[in-house]
Amino acid sequence: MPSSQKIHDFDFHTDQSFKKKAVRSGGITMLTHFLDYGIQVGSTAIIARILEPSDYGLVAIALAATGFFFIFKTLGLSDATVQREHITHQQVSNLFWINVTAGLLLTLILFLGASLIAAIFNDNRLIDIIRVSSITFLISGFYTQHQALLKRSMKFSALAVNEVTGISLSVIAAIAMAFSGMGYWVLVIRPIIYTASIAIGCWVLCSWRPGLPCRNSNVKPMLRFGLNTIAYYIVDYLARNSDKALIGWKEGPGPLGFYSKAFQLFLAPVSQLTIPLSGVAVSTLSKLCREPSKYHSYYLNAVHAIAFMGFPSSMFLVANSKHLILFLLGEKWAGAAELFSILGLAGGIQLITSTRAWLFVSQGRTDRWFYTGVVASVVMGLFILIGLQFGTKGVAISYTTFVYLALIPSLWYAGAPIGLKFRQIFSVIWKTFCASFLAASVNWYLIRFMQNFSHFIILLLSMLIFSISYTAIVFALYGNAKPFISFFELALMVFPGIHKKRIRLTQKTTFQNQSTEE
């Protein structure tokens, strides 16, 4: 079989089944992400009872010292393979060897630099921890392109099985190691087992095999794509950590602890929705770049779906920030509640703004993505410096204000090359935003009459109040049940078995009715 044919097998055409496959891929990926999250939370509850807090702290230091290197893990070449309209066997082979070489270099850099990092933190245990952990970079290089080809062909069901298998194997091994008394090495070896499992799974699931590297394969455009992606991630990494660095510098570890915990909780609903959908969205939109109307339709439907879930989730957390913090973290974290309520106001908006990455990457315009990142980082830095004059609360207000102000220019600039207007995006999100805000206001007002209940009971009652309020307001704004019907139809596409069962049940009922009439 010709090598070019091997790559052609991973192309996906926009036939009649495209919409169902795209929607089902998104649903499966989200479910897998939530399942992974549940497995990790459960395993953490077990392992944390065996290990000491100092074990987690030691590994956290190693991760903090090496976290910057994760930006270079794929060199942005995974997205380059997914986004490319046509790609050859030799191009992917060259990218494969570039990823392997990059993984080897990152491993060597960390292996040789481990002693210096340990000296900075004055703990020689970090030497072995960093050196062993660096193996994950080398392993990742061997499966990056295989995973990209599976995404390119939208084989997300296979990727989901591989992901759950990797998580499960690493969790089982970690629990066994914890009970055997391996201490902090449990936290070091677990990611290696997970990465190795993913690598093996990708090679089993993907039939493509790399050839030897050669010249004249025309990978320069893909390398430029990857370099722009890395440049954006570097700028974004520095920007995302600037607020915490400045608070730590001026206010100290105490206020920073409250702020970082509030920020972590604020990001939770955002990341739970955007991370699993990102790969599916980029893969799908990349196939539709030559069909702008279908591109617009898919993107707007996806944005409406995440707004329908994301806005009420973030607003509910804002309305119940105090009781949520006290229930989850205890009284000593009460100082994080107000910060959480301020940051939470930006949750839904940041969720929508983050979809600009789908637009930039799917169109191959990572250069525009990088420019956006530079401008956004500078402006956000100025906002944070202003807010810092008023403490952590000022920083939280500044950050939230920036997120709202960045929404329009970010999405306008991202959608311009494909002819997507911001007013189109606004038309599918404003009603759910208003419904969520009003439902949160009702919830917040009624909480005042529940102060004699426990935090847990208040949260349960708030869920009921918010759900009823949100549903009623959505009905009032839309004038019909269309948003709920659309959401239900998407669920049927994700679970076709339910749809078939419903059809069979309907057919059976119809047959029985006809027999009765006869």
Q: Could you tell me the mean pLDDT of each successive run of 10 residues in the chain, 518 residues long?
A: 48 54 64 72 73 73 77 83 80 89 93 88 86 92 90 81 88 89 87 93 90 80 84 83 76 73 74 72 80 87 86 90 80 81 90 90 86 90 90 90 94 92 92 93 89 87 93 89 71 50 43 42
Give the SS3 label for residue 363: coil
Are 22 and 154 a contacting pair, CB within 8 Å? yes
pTM score: 0.73
| CA angle, 422 then 382 then 64, to 5° | 95
Are 230 and 71 a contacting pair, CB within 8 Å? yes
Give the per-residue pLDDT at 406: 92
Amino acid letter, 504: R
Give the per-residue pLDDT at 200: 94
pLDDT digits (tens, 9 = 90+) for 42-94: 777 677 777 776 777 777 777 777 778 888 888 888 888 887 777 888 888 88
Spatial CB neighbours of 228, under 8 Å, sequence gap ≥ 6 = 76, 366, 367, 369, 370
pLDDT digits (tens, 9 = 90+) for 362-411: 888 888 888 898 999 899 989 999 998 888 889 899 999 999 999 999 99
Are 295 and 418 a contacting pair, CB within 8 Å? yes
Distance in angstroms (rounded) separating the CA atoms of residues 193 and 356: 33
Give the per-residue pLDDT at 517: 41
Q: Is the CA virtual torsion 75, 158, 276, 154 positive or negative?
A: positive
